[in-house]
Amino acid sequence: MSELKETFPTTFVVLDMEWNQPIPYIPSPVDPKTLPGEIIDIGAVKLRMNSQNDFELSRPLRLTVRPIYYRVMNKQVSRVINKSTNDLKCGLPFQEAYKLFLDFCGDDYVLCAWGDSDISILRSNLKIHGLSAELNDRFMDIQPFFGKVGENTTMQRSVNYAVDFYRIPQTDDFHSADKDAWYEAMVLKESLIDYFSMKQSEEKNKENFIPLSSYISNPNLTMQFRWKSDVFPTEKEADESAEKEALFCPICNEKLSEDLPWFASGHTHFSLWKCSQHGYLTGKIRAKRTPDQKYYGAGQLRFANASSAWYVKEKWQSILTGQDITERKNDSETVGND
Ligand SMILES: [Zn+2]
Distance 335 CA to ligand 1 centre (A): 19
Distance 60 CA to ligand 1 centre (A): 37
| 311-325 pLDDT tens trace | 898 899 888 887 665
pLDDT at 206 over 70: no
Say how far apart CA 295 and CA 169 lie, in whole Å.
55
Indicate the average pLDDT of the chain.
88
| 44-93 pLDDT tens trace | 999 999 888 789 999 999 999 999 999 999 988 888 888 889 889 999 99
DSSP string, 46-82: EEEE-TTS-EEEPPPEEEEB--SS--S--HHHHHHH-
Distance 131 CA to ligand 1 centre (A): 26
Distance 302 CA to ligand 1 centre (A): 12
Distance 145 CA to ligand 1 centre (A): 25
pLDDT of residue 336: 41
CA atoms within 13 A on the CB side of 28: 17
Say how far apart CA 281 and CA 245 lie, in whole Å.
15
Q: Is 321 helix (H, G, I), strand (E, B) or coil?
A: coil
pLDDT of residue 175: 76
Q: Is 210 helix (H, G, I), strand (E, B) or coil?
A: coil
pLDDT at 330 over 60: no
pLDDT of residue 37: 96
Distance 222 CA to ligand 1 centre (A): 12
pLDDT of residue 159: 93
Distance 87 CA to ligand 1 centre (A): 46
Query: Could you give the residue range(s) of every CATH 3.30.420.10 domain in the chain?
Result: 2-217
Distance 136 CA to ligand 1 centre (A): 19
Query: What is the pLDDT confidence band of residue 174, given thresholds at 50, 70 and 90?
Result: low
| 99-113 pLDDT tens trace | 999 999 999 999 999
Query: What is the pLDDT confidence band of residue 208, given thresholds at 50, 70 and 90?
Result: low
Instruction: For the beta carbon of residue 110, count every other beta carbon within 10 angstroms.
Output: 21
pLDDT at 171 over 60: yes
| 250-301 pLDDT tens trace | 888 899 999 999 999 999 999 999 999 888 999 999 999 999 999 999 999 9
Q: Is 137 helix (H, G, I), strand (E, B) or coil?
A: coil
pLDDT at 6 over 60: no
For residues 125-129, average pLDDT: 94
Greatest mean pLDDT range, 144-148, 171-175, 218-222, 296-300: 296-300
Distance 247 CA to ligand 1 centre (A): 11
pLDDT of residue 5: 40
User: Model pTM?
Assistant: 0.76
For residues 134-146, average pLDDT: 92
For residues 180-204, average pLDDT: 89
Distance 221 CA to ligand 1 centre (A): 10
Distance 280 CA to ligand 1 centre (A): 9
| CA nearest neighbour of 180 among 124, 219, 142, 125 | 142
Say how far apart CA 167 and CA 293 lie, in whole Å.
55
Beta-bridged to residue 289, according to DSSP, are 295
pLDDT of residue 9: 86
Domain spanning 2-217: CATH superfamily: Ribonuclease H-like superfamily/Ribonuclease H (3.30.420.10)
pLDDT of residue 325: 54
Query: What is the pLDDT confidence band of residue 332, given thresholds at 50, 70 and 90?
Result: very low
Q: What percent of the chain has pLDDT over 70?
A: 90
